[in-house]
Amino acid sequence: MQGFKEILFSFLITLVSLLALARLNSQLQDQPRFIPTSEPTTITGRPADPHIAMNWGLKAISAEVAWLEGAADKSVIVAIIDTGADINHPNLSKNIWTNPGETGVAPDGSDKASNGIDDDGNGFVDDAHGWDFVSNSPALMDEHGHGTHIAGIIGAAPFDGPGASGVAPGVSLMILKYYDTETAGLDNLANTVRAIRYAVDNGAKIINYSGGGILRNRLEEEALRYAAENGVLVVAAAGNEGVNSDFFPFYPADYDLPNIISVGAVDRGGELLAVSNYGLGSVDLVAPGKNIFSTLPQGRYGYMTGTSQATAFVSGVAALMMAHDARYRDPATLRAQLLSSGRSLTSLRGKIGSGQLLNAALALQPTKLEISETNNGRRPAQDVN
């Protein structure tokens, strides 16, 4: 009888464990891989204050000083894998990437951008400015606002008078929509994989991915390895769970690949945000992420907070570096310079691999471009004085 009870107890324990695993698997599959900490706070119309004063992050990373060395040019293409973007926004329209194979006049006299033909043979019809992997169409509408906000931080082009300026106001922004609120988690992940490969195949040099989740995925990792093999830098959000990513990895930021930069977020005082993930071996550097001012759909502006915004600052500086010196078009070279040229902060000691806050001006200073070799391409933790 005693043996039967032990067998029954063991069976019940196994059953409960299997049910728990099934529930966890279901939760992981439903995870959106999208990490805003809040909805955007909107300002209707054009703001009354100068753009540089509105976005404190530009001053914090010495963007104005870096601009004296020149802005990014259109040859530097940044793929933004996000919720889409308002490509007609007055601060973004000039910098939206244009696919040369899908613009202009076709031999039959039709407009390549809207003739319903895959003119460049890349497998996507009328992808003049990017692709919506949710609807599988060239429609890039941003119903949420997150993608438009990220695009503005990276490469908004200022116009006369007040407005929003990005870190790299001369860059090309390739819009790739992977996320929709009505899309299941695994579908978002599949869309991400397709978007990464599209970016690589269509000339992007930088991929900004301000999203992610705790679910590791072989296909996503393979796509990111494909990006590495083709010299494409990937700047990824460290995540907004407020945990140590050394013990609780967040993907794609924590894949063990040499072309990935994982970015945490700080406030005006240089303190790590409570929501920002951290980790000496997993998070590389930090950038501004609290109440960041940028563009929103329908020609609006507003504020958002999180590692998503910090990631966009790093992508913008990477674009400036690539435009400034062709040697930085090698991800390993750029990564080594970026992680050794920031401003050291005591508040980051023991939490962030480089111990540094992004600095655009220092990143553009002359360097020997020596690459530090580590077991996974990440720089070791630095002591902060």
What's the pLDDT tens digit per position in 287-331?
Answer: 999 999 999 999 999 999 999 999 999 999 999 999 999 999 999
3-class SS of residue 54: helix
3-class SS of residue 158: coil
Does residue 149 surpass a pLDDT of 60? yes
Find the catalytic residue in 129, 146, 149, 324.
146
Known catalytic membership, residue 347: no
Taking the alpha carbons of 30, 32, 37, 43 in that order, is the dihedral positive or negative?
Answer: negative
Does residue 272 surpass a pLDDT of 90? yes
Q: Which residue has the tokens 């020609």?
A: 299
CB proximity list for 230: less than 8 A, separation 6 or greater: 200
Q: How confident is the model at residue 185 (pLDDT cuts 50, 70, 90)?
A: low
Does residue 372 surpass a pLDDT of 50? no
Find the catalytic residue in 51, 82, 165, 282.
82
Give the span between the Cα atoms of 235 and 208, in whole angstroms: 5
pLDDT tens track for 97-112: 999 999 999 999 999 8
Does residue 194 surpass a pLDDT of 70? yes
Q: Read out DSSP for 291-324?
A: SEEEEETTTEEEEE-SHHHHHHHHHHHHHHHHHH
Q: Provide mean pLDDT across the span 11-31.
A: 47
Find the catalytic residue in 165, 172, 245, 308.
308
Does residue 217 surpass a pLDDT of 90? yes
Q: Crossing angle for the helix pair 2-30 and 185-201, nearest 10 degrees?
A: 50
Give the domains, in start order, of the chain with CATH numbers.
49-363 (3.40.50.200)
Known catalytic membership, residue 110: no
Does residue 206 surpass a pLDDT of 70? yes
pLDDT tens track for 244-268: 999 999 999 999 999 999 999 999 9
Known catalytic membership, residue 82: yes
Does residue 5 surpass a pLDDT of 80? no
